[in-house]
Amino acid sequence: AQVEFVSANPTSSLHVGHGRGAAYGMTVANLLEAIGWTVQREYYVNDAGRQMDILATSTYLRYLELCGQKLTFPSNGYRGDYVTNDIAQKIFEQYGTQFNQPVSAVFAAVPDDAIYANEL
């Protein structure tokens, strides 16, 4: 049996559920081994792909806002305080406006914003 557990999403803050998932996954794996199964435990690091692209774009857009630019933030972007108050703020404090560029340049490489059923 293969048991995957925890796999904390690096695009958001850790929470108590991650700890609970780790305890639950390890318990399931241990119980399976106790009854004779061969168990492979897996922890995947989700550090590539669409979610990371959204995190990078969201952070860059928040940085551009700190540079004084006005923009419409995508509905599918990450809006958590960790993006604005932590990541983008630290970049702005360290580099100032060094990475400032027109918002249109950022949106040129971003797929159109998703339209969700509840927005129709």
pTM of the model: 0.64
pLDDT, position 74:
86
C-alpha separations of 113 from 74, 76, 107, 110, 119 in Å: 6, 7, 10, 8, 12
Query: How many Å is the Cα radius of gyration of the chain?
Result: 20
Residue type, 80: G
pLDDT digits 0-9 by tens, 58-111? 999 999 999 999 998 888 888 888 787 788 999 999 999 999 999 988 888 776
* Sign of the Cα pseudo-torsion (96, 101, 104, 106, in order): negative
